[in-house]
Amino acid sequence: MSDLTLHHAHPWDVSPEEAVRIQEQLARHVREHPLSVPVRTVGGVDVGVKDNCSRAAVVVVSYPSLQVVYWATEEMPTPFPYVPGLLSFREIPVILRALARLPALPDVLLCDAQGKAHPRGLGLASHLGVLLDHPTVGCAKRRLVGVHPPVPDGRGAWVPLTREGKVIGAVVRTRPGVKPVYVSVGHRVTLEEAVRLVLDTALRYRLPEPIRLAHRLSQQGVLETGLL
């Protein structure tokens, strides 16, 4: 199991108002810079919630071959109500438990969530990245904030997602004729690297393969750890 060291640790049992203040403080620690090591493994993270039980799944694949190398799941009572913009307080506690079951953290984590493209600049991907001080990418199915021009229909096309004149992410077409995804820096990557990783791992479906596999695993309700 990996030894998770948390940076800027904080309480999770807080009010929505206090959660907003924590987000505002942690957003100052988000870093956007090139990856410091070659990417050999990529992890996908997803959480499913049913009957007030949250199940997190992490699936790690080799890069660029996308072969599954290990995975882990974990569950716990859902610790925080559903509040728009505060998803990380609802899901990160169980994600951390699942990550702790892995033999090692992957080089980059792809999250089915926002990174910097968030009202306070700290979506789940950025929150998780800052806590772990580890490269993360947000790849969300829906937009929280920002505006963008139409995205050309070809695979690989993307346009900037902006807010108040600043680029906060990219709207990326992973498949022709299918809705785009919203990609943003989580922590310790550049937006260009984030877009490339999403496109390199989303070869057949709208979502990157590690996230798609993690979603399937999170819905199964089975606690397990696997190593190939």
Residue range 163-203, pLDDT digits in tens: 999 999 999 999 999 999 999 999 999 999 999 999 999 99
Question: Who has greater pLDDT, 133 or 219?
Answer: 133
Residue 10 pLDDT > 80: yes
Number of separate domains in the chain: 1
- The mean pLDDT of 20-28, rounded to a whole number, is 98
Q: What local confidence, expressed as pLDDT, does residue 227 receive?
A: 56
Judge whether 31 lies within some domain: yes
Nearest to 106 by CA among 212, 210, 215, 219: 210
User: Which helix (H) or strand (E) segment is 54 a member of?
Assistant: strand 53-62
Going across the sheet that includes 225-227, the strands are 158-163, 166-172, 181-187, 136-140, 108-111, 41-50, 53-62, 68-77, 225-227
Q: Please indicate, yes or no, if residue 153 is contained in any of the structural domains.
A: no
Task: Report pLDDT for 66.
Answer: 97
The answer to whether position 85 is within a domain reads yes
Is the pLDDT confidence value at 65 over 90? Answer: yes
Residue 27: strand, helix, or coil: helix
pLDDT at 44 (0 to 100): 98
CA dihedral of 185, 186, 188, 192, whole degrees rounded to 10: -20
* Per-residue confidence band for 222, with pLDDT thresholds at 50, 70 and 90: low
- Give the C-alpha distances (Å, rounded to integers) separating 162 from 15, 98, 115, 144, 171: 30, 33, 14, 12, 10
Q: Flag whether 135 is in a domain.
A: yes
User: 226: pLDDT confidence band, cut at 50, 70 and 90?
Assistant: low
Per-residue pLDDT at 2: 61
Residues 6+ apart with CB under 8 A from 198: 110, 137, 139, 172, 174, 181, 183, 208
Q: Quick check: is 3 in a domain?
A: no
Q: CATH number for the domain including 22?
A: 3.30.2170.10
Alpha-carbon distances of 171 from 14, 140, 174, rounded to whole Å:
33, 10, 10
3 state DSSP class of 117: coil
Mean pLDDT of the 113-142 span? 98
- 142 phi and psi angles, rounded to 5 deg: -130, 160
Please name every residue paired with 110 in a beta bridge, in sequence order, or none if there are none: 44, 137
Residue 56: inside a domain, yes or no?
yes
47, part of any domain:
yes
Question: pTM above 0.75?
Answer: yes
pLDDT confidence tier of residue 158, bands split at 50, 70 and 90: very high
| Residues in contact with 194: Cβ distance below 8 Å, sequence separation at least 6, in sequence order | 115, 137, 138, 170, 183, 184, 185, 186
Does residue 84 sit within a domain?
A: yes
Residue-range definition of the domain harbouring residue 91: 16-140+187-227
The label of the residue with tokens 């772990």 reads: 132
